Chains A and B, each alone.
Chain A
Amino acid sequence: MKLKTLTIRNFRQFYGEVSISFSTDEKASVTVIHGENGSGKTSLLNAFKWVLYGTTDFDTNNENLLSEKAIAEAAPNSTIIMSVSLEFDDDGATYTAQREQKFSKGTGLHAESLGQSVPTLTYTDSAGLSHRSSNPGSQLNQILPEDMHSYFFFNGERIEKLAYNSASTQVRDAIKGLMGLNILDRAERQLKNSVVRHFNKEAKEGSTGNLAALFDQQSSLTDRIEEKEEEIKAWKKNQIEIELEIEEIDKRLDSIKAIAEKQKLRRELEAQLDQIKKDKSEESSSLGKYISERGFLAFIDAQLIEVKDYLDQMRIRGEMPSKVKSTFIDDLIELGQCICGQPLEPGSDCVKTLESYKTTIQDNGAEEQFMALFGVMSHLQSERKGLFSNIHESMNRLKDLADRRKDLLGRIDELGEEILGVNDSSELESRRVELKAKSKEFNENCAVGRHQKTGWEDQLNEVEKEIGKEQAKTNQADLSQRRKQLAKEVADTISELHEALAHQVRTELSAKVDGTFQKIMRKDYWAEIDEDFTLKIYKNIEGHGKQAVLEKSTGENQVTSLCFISSIVNSAKEKAKNPGAFQKGGIYPIVMDSPFGALDPEYREKVASFIPALADQVIVMVSKSQWRGEVENELSKRLGKQYTLKYHKPDQESEERFEYTNLEEGFYG
């Protein structure tokens, strides 16, 4: 998608018709729109959202979008038209999206909307043929999905949230959406639900008796598993939203001086608690694995003794062949008496005869086997001793982790009480406590739900085994069964493919984000997108190794988020140039409102230098103070066009009684 022209009519402070052409030049890909606070930069950003999706980010959403001046100047009962039109290129076609809202002028400054806003979409395809879309909303959503919109059209001062831990779902959705992985999710769901159910039904219709009952059980279990999956998803989503709110509360608590230290300590303790949770889970899992592999040793003590005694007896009796006899001969000579009762004097003929047997005895392999078995018996006995000591050690570690957890929970609880007792933070802390309880409840629901689901999945496996035995009684049932099996294999493979692709994309993107991040950050930090798709920043602490950076400034969070957005846009662009079998990528612009506000000069310079290099088209809205200096120096190297928003404030004594904004090409700052 490459933006060409935006035309606004009577939208917010833009009175009459205002048109902006964006630079589409590859080498001069930046369009800068200058404007002071309140001049309409945010309105311009929202004009994109309104024309594409019919919504805005204003607190009042679509109320009060119509220009006050347009209302004031309209004749009573006349119709006022508000519209936004956006011309853009995408995938070889040129599109014009337009949205129009009509109003009827009422009394004073009141105008009533006449129905819903109406979107239209016309386009000229690569063959030069013109079309008018019959489903403009849906088609626009295909070109730039609404939920992806905020990655390309954003308020720079509000994007820091992407760097929060709780934004992992957003990060994962963005990666999947832009890399085209969502289709794998969908394919897997359709195969597992509708397609498998279809073949189940077909198989059931073609069968009778026991098989039909088994298919009923199978369908019922499949439905219960799906329902539980949906429930778990909803709980997880609620939990993520709650975690996001908690992080926002934490940010606000961080800024309260009276409790800043306590809040910092609590964060550290909570991070330690998370680590303990992970360690406990790893320890339990490795203990479980160890017991399942070696646990049998606990129950074979009597057998070990019995077998070892038996082998000893065999050796003493000389029943083992070859070298066992040779040992037996040595024993007899040492004993000084033969089994027939004759004494065996050293150097006597009898002893010489016995010793001569040793040289003629051939090893037939039994000796080796015997010795090996003998060795295994001894080894198992020592392994058995090790089993108890290892289990004991592991249990001690688990107990230690449980003690540390209990201690941390107590300290976190106490800190919470102290924060609650401070006037400025009391309300926020109460809300935090409430949210934490809800989050815990959803987490428990998820755990119980997953447990139930696993039980049903086990039952389903059993039923499917039974079906396997019963099937093939009718041809149709057999055929449907085979088709169902193929559908399941395809679904499972797609699921695995999805995981593998997500891992690959995540790894590549993580490296790209880090590359950009390290160029911009002056601290010795590095960025990673971890396995949970959380964008994390790390540092090295001597003696402690890799440590997550928990406390970042607003500016650092903003830089992190900008690195992520520009890297993902760049990855999508690269994939669009070299599409693979499963990922297509795409060309996306970046439209940023005030992205330099919270940054210091060094970061401004680097953001202005590196971010535009990654995207095909960048539109930046800046105030004079954000533009001057390092931003101007850097962006001027890629500058294609620039405009200035001229705000006209109301002046009761002149004719200008209502505010409006004009747009002028160039910058006259």
Chain B
Amino acid sequence: MKTPSEVIKAASPEAQSVINKVLKIQQEGKHYRDLPSDLERDFCERIIKVIKDEVKV
């Protein structure tokens, strides 16, 4: 099995950049077992924005 760093290295540079940002967002809700629906929506919207910023043209 690959190590975590090997998994990350195998991803494209765009994916690596998005993963870091997505996990930073998710850290804010790390202690919730079930994320409240408003926070869930907020996280999804922020992830969409991260991806849109990464793929612009």
Q: Let me know if A191 and B7 touch, CB within 8 A.
A: no
Q: Let me know if B19 and A141 touch, CB within 8 A.
A: no
Produce 1/0 per residue, A317-358, CB < 8 A to B: 000000000000000000000000000000000000000000
Q: Let me know if A490 and B18 touch, CB within 8 A.
A: yes
Q: Let me know if A490 and B22 touch, CB within 8 A.
A: yes
Q: Let me know if A494 and B1 touch, CB within 8 A.
A: no
Q: Let me know if B2 and A486 touch, CB within 8 A.
A: no
Q: Let me know if A497 and B31 touch, CB within 8 A.
A: no
* Most A C-beta atoms less than 10 A away, residue of B6, B19, B54: B19
Q: Let me know if B51 and A195 touch, CB within 8 A.
A: yes
Q: Which among B10, B23, B35 is the interface contact of A582 at CB below 8 angstroms?
A: B23
Q: Let me know if B55 and A183 touch, CB within 8 A.
A: no
Produce 1/0 per residue, A123-155, CB < 8 A to B: 000000000000000100111111100000000
Q: Which among A186, A493, A584 is the interface contact of B19 at CB below 8 angstroms?
A: A493
Residues of A within 8 A of B3 (CB): 500, 504
Q: Let me know if B15 and A493 touch, CB within 8 A.
A: yes
Q: Let me know if B7 and A497 touch, CB within 8 A.
A: yes
**A194 vs B22: C-alpha distance in the bound complex, in angstroms?**
14
Is A106 an interface residue, CB under 8 A from the partner?
Answer: no
**A486 vs B36: C-alpha distance in the bound complex, in angstroms?**
26
Q: Let me know if A503 and B1 touch, CB within 8 A.
A: yes
Is A368 an interface residue, CB under 8 A from the partner?
Answer: no
Is A458 an interface residue, CB under 8 A from the partner?
Answer: no
Q: Let me know if B19 and A490 touch, CB within 8 A.
A: yes
Produce 1/0 per residue, B16-57, CB < 8 A to A: 001110110011011111011000100110011001101101
**A180 vs B54: C-alpha distance in the bound complex, in angstroms?**
26
Min C-beta distance of B8 to chain A, whole Å = 7
Q: Which among B4, B31, B32, B47 is the interface contact of A191 at CB below 8 angstroms?
A: B47
Q: Let me know if B31 and A143 touch, CB within 8 A.
A: yes
Q: Which among A143, A483, A494, A500 is the interface contact of B51 at CB below 8 angstroms?
A: A483
| Inter-chain residue pair count (beta carbon < 8 A) | 106
Is A451 an interface residue, CB under 8 A from the partner?
Answer: no
Q: Let me know if B4 and A183 touch, CB within 8 A.
A: no
Q: Let me know if A186 and B29 touch, CB within 8 A.
A: yes
Q: Which among A142, A199, A479 is the interface contact of B32 at CB below 8 angstroms?
A: A142
* Most B C-beta atoms less than 10 A away, residue of A141, A147, A191, A501: A191
Min C-beta distance of A305 to chain B, whole Å = 46
**A276 vs B3: C-alpha distance in the bound complex, in angstroms?**
31
**A144 vs B51: C-alpha distance in the bound complex, in angstroms?**
32
Min C-beta distance of B45 to chain A, whole Å = 9
Q: Which of A76-109 contact B (CB under 8 A)?
A: none
Is A482 an interface residue, CB under 8 A from the partner?
Answer: yes
Residues of A within 8 A of B12 (CB): 489
Residues of B within 8 A of A183 (CB): 23, 26-27, 29-30
Residues of A within 8 A of B20 (CB): 581
**A205 vs B27: C-alpha distance in the bound complex, in angstroms?**
33
Min C-beta distance of B11 to chain A, whole Å = 4
Produce 1/0 per residue, A498-520, CB < 8 A to B: 01110110000000000000000
Measured CB to CB, the nearest residue on chain B to A495 is: B7
Residues of A within 8 A of B55 (CB): 479, 482-483, 486
Q: Let me know if B51 and A487 touch, CB within 8 A.
A: yes
Measured CB to CB, the nearest residue on chain A to B6 is: A500
Is A198 an interface residue, CB under 8 A from the partner?
Answer: yes
Is A452 an interface residue, CB under 8 A from the partner?
Answer: no
Residues of A within 8 A of B18 (CB): 486, 490
Is A496 an interface residue, CB under 8 A from the partner?
Answer: yes
From known contacts A191-B47, A194-B44, A497-B8, infer whether A145 and B33 are also in contact, taking CB-CB under 8 Å: yes
Q: Let me know if B2 and A190 touch, CB within 8 A.
A: no
Min C-beta distance of A173 to chain B, whole Å = 9
Is A409 an interface residue, CB under 8 A from the partner?
Answer: no
Q: Which among B11, B32, B36, B47 is the interface contact of A489 at CB below 8 angstroms?
A: B11
Q: Let me know if B7 and A198 touch, CB within 8 A.
A: no
Q: Let me know if A500 and B1 touch, CB within 8 A.
A: yes
Is A182 an interface residue, CB under 8 A from the partner?
Answer: yes
Min C-beta distance of A493 to chain B, whole Å = 4
Residues of A within 8 A of B19 (CB): 490, 493-494, 497
**A613 vs B52: C-alpha distance in the bound complex, in angstroms?**
49
Is A187 an interface residue, CB under 8 A from the partner?
Answer: yes
**A195 vs B8: C-alpha distance in the bound complex, in angstroms?**
21
Q: Let me know if B31 and A499 touch, CB within 8 A.
A: no
**A554 vs B1: C-alpha distance in the bound complex, in angstroms?**
36
Q: Which among B11, B33, B47 is the interface contact of A146 at CB below 8 angstroms?
A: B33
Q: Let me know if B23 and A195 touch, CB within 8 A.
A: no
Residues of B within 8 A of A198 (CB): 44, 48
Residues of B within 8 A of A187 (CB): 22-23, 26, 47
Residues of A within 8 A of B23 (CB): 183-184, 187, 494, 581-582
Min C-beta distance of A183 to chain B, whole Å = 4
Q: Which of A537-589 contact B (CB under 8 A)?
A: 581-582, 584
Q: Which among B14, B36, B44 is the interface contact of A195 at CB below 8 angstroms?
A: B44
**A146 vs B34: C-alpha distance in the bound complex, in angstroms?**
11
**A199 vs B48: C-alpha distance in the bound complex, in angstroms?**
8
Q: Let me know if B44 and A501 touch, CB within 8 A.
A: no
From known contacts A490-B15, A490-B18, infer whether A504 and B51 are also in contact, taking CB-CB under 8 Å: no
From known contacts A190-B44, A490-B15, A493-B19, infer whether A141 and B33 are also in contact, taking CB-CB under 8 Å: yes
Produce 1/0 per residue, A194-212, CB < 8 A to B: 1100110000000000000
Residues of A within 8 A of B51 (CB): 195, 199, 483, 486-487, 490
Q: Which among A145, A483, A499 is the interface contact of B1 at CB below 8 angstroms?
A: A499
Min C-beta distance of B19 to chain A, whole Å = 6
Q: Let me know if B15 and A141 touch, CB within 8 A.
A: no
Residues of A within 8 A of B33 (CB): 141, 145-147, 177, 182
Q: Let me know if B47 and A190 touch, CB within 8 A.
A: yes
Residues of A within 8 A of B26 (CB): 183-184, 186-187
**A135 vs B48: C-alpha distance in the bound complex, in angstroms?**
27
- Provide 28 A-B residue pairs closer than 8 Å at the C-beta atoms, listed in order of the A residue: A138-B32, A141-B32, A141-B33, A145-B32, A146-B33, A147-B33, A184-B23, A186-B35, A186-B43, A187-B47, A190-B43, A190-B44, A195-B48, A479-B55, A483-B51, A483-B52, A489-B15, A490-B11, A493-B7, A493-B8, A493-B10, A493-B11, A493-B19, A496-B7, A497-B8, A500-B1, A501-B4, A584-B30
Top 3 nearest A-B pairs (CB, nearest first) are A142-B31, A183-B26, A194-B44
Additional pairs, 14, CB under 8 Å, beyond known A184-B26, A190-B40, A584-B27? A138-B32, A138-B36, A141-B32, A147-B33, A190-B43, A486-B55, A490-B11, A490-B22, A493-B8, A496-B7, A500-B2, A500-B4, A500-B6, A500-B7
